Structure 1
Amino acid sequence: MVHLQCGAATDVGRVRSTNEDAHFASSPVFVVADGMGGHQAGDIASAIVVEEFARLAHDGYDSSKAPEVVTESLKRCQRSIQQYGEEHRNEGDGDWYAGTTVAAAVLCEDEEGAKWLLTNLGDSRIYKLHNGSLDQVSVDHSLVQELLDSGEINAEEAATHPERHVITRALGGPVFRDPDFFVLPLSSAERLVLCSDGVSGMITDHVIHQIVSTTDDPRDAAEALVSAAVAAGGEDNATAVVVDVVGLTESATPHVLRTEPVSLEEKLGALP
């Protein structure tokens, strides 16, 4: 049995009028989604992702088939976002577009025991804290990351690049783009941090490390990350989820992971 503690926080920031970020944090599923497209577009797209992953947590899933389960969940999100967009465009709004990034952590299990299955689309990030060291696990799907990988720019230039918010993969586009998957033993990541680029784009990895390595309670850590991002300028919606592994009993038999039902009505309201 795996024992987890988590915290989550979000803020609209100082510039935007609508919070298009959404998050879900309830063992064994954790997700941050950063919506794009403006009010009643990006916020709906990110809400669709959270609704789908909450359903996954509530209904349970075969943890030995987590990559297939998560891929199918993302494809359902893609279809729902596209369908919602088609309805708007059929009503005469030809320019209507909705999309969202996704960063998710899901518990999985095999004959070696429990692990983290991490996945991302876009530039919402996943970090792990282990033995006091913070490392970014996910790789941004962004134009700036491609320029970094090709050596055309350096990290300092990337931080201020005029197209640093241009992403190359997301849910909601005309074609489903495959997500990246990463598998981590629980013992290699005593703390996970999932965040939108409203956090990672406003504060440095050094500041993120300082906060998550010195704040014991994951709820306080999530609040501190978001507060720091807002204090640094709050140019975008800022969302963080922090998850701690506080106890682990290894099991050799994969099983269906389940949690108690979680209501999203207060957070999201009824989706159209």
Structure 2
Amino acid sequence: MSDTTTKTRSVTVAQRRLVLSWAGVTDVGRRRETNQDAFFAEYPLFIVADGMGGHAGGEIASQSTVKRLEAVVASGSVERGAIQGALELAVGDIADHPETTDEGTGTTLTGVFLEYEDDEPHWAALNIGDSRVYLLRDDRLVQVTTDHSVVQELIAAGKISPEEAEGHPYSNVITRAVGASELTAPDYVTLDVRVGDRFVICSDGLTKELTDYGIQHFLRENADPGAAVEAMLAAALENGGRDNVTLVIVQIAEEPSSTNESEEE
């Protein structure tokens, strides 16, 4: 694997200058012939999409969704209404694509973005499907998003345990997706911006191969987002790489007073 580049951006929170840094990677894995995952990581939006569907359907769905969200960033207006509009356009793109032949064509979507209120930023995590956002805060890893899946519904109903979910025959069945039909809006979770926060945004190709403890371990061992991304990918592949593996790591730190302002993009 080649080295993954870490990008940075300065942000102001409560009159404090902080550094936002991030890195992302995607890999076909060890058992799949094509990569149906896609990701986009540019300030202020960081997302992962895990496509599904026969033929080229999953790749079409994930790339169409990411392309529409890239345009939102390019427009300079990253907020929930704009994201909703982009996803509605993506649904049309997927439906209209000549290679969308499978009714199961669609993609998960998850990620985080900075949104502003009175010029102060906070995080918004979004998700559709079973790709996930994790947050390491105060040395404790928590799953921010809730899976839209059959097994998650069974867990919530008390019918199976989280341990039983891993080997459940419906473990890959999701209940929401961005696909060639009417869009279901994402769920959102709002979080404050804190120094030291580290987000892991990933497809289930990572979580099939790494436990939450494993994710936390590699974050602790690698302070740089690029190094952490590479370490987690290598571990996922070594553990089997049964699916495409995609992840983005985003983190916030104090801006060193001895350096110049970070590059503004």
Question: What is the distance in 2 between the residues matched to 1:88 and 1:187?
Answer: 44
Backbone CA RMSD of aligned residues: 1.8
Partner of 1:266: none
Partner of 1:72: 85
Mapping of residues 1-272 of structure 1, within 5 Å = 2=11, 3-61=19-77, 66-84=79-97, 87-88=98-99, 93=101, 95=102, 97-111=104-118, 113-187=120-194, 190-247=197-254, 260=265
Cα 1:73–1:189, aligned 2, differ >3 Å: closer, same or farther? farther
Amino acid at match of 1:80: D
Question: What is the distance in 2 between the residues matched to 1:41 and 1:181?
Answer: 26
- How many corresponding residue pairs? 241
Identity %: 39
Partner of 2:15: none
| C-alpha distance after superposition, 1:173-209 (max 9, x if no partner) | 4221121001111117711110000001221111111
Would you say the 8 A contact 1:18–1:39 is kept in 2? no
Please list every run of 5 or more consecutive structure 2 residues that lacks an aligned counterpart in the other structure. Answer: 1-9, 12-18, 256-263
User: Which one has the bigger helix percentage?
Assistant: 1
Q: Please identify runs of 4+ aligned residues in structure 1 that moved more than 3 A.
A: none
Relative CO higher for 1 or 2, CA cutoff 8 Å, sep ≥ 6? 1
TM-score for the superposition, normalised by structure 1 = 0.83
Would you say the 8 A contact 2:195–2:254 is kept in 1? no
Question: What is the distance in 1 between the residues matched to 2:195 and 2:22?
Answer: 17
Question: What is the distance in 2 between the residues matched to 1:41 and 1:189?
Answer: 38
Please list every run of 5 or more consecutive structure 1 residues that lacks an aligned counterpart in the other structure. Answer: 249-258, 261-272
SS in 1 for 2:194: helix
Would you say the 8 A contact 1:88–1:96 is kept in 2? no
**Structure 1 position 213, deviation (Å):** 2.4
Question: What is the distance in 2 between the residues matched to 1:191 and 1:137?
Answer: 12
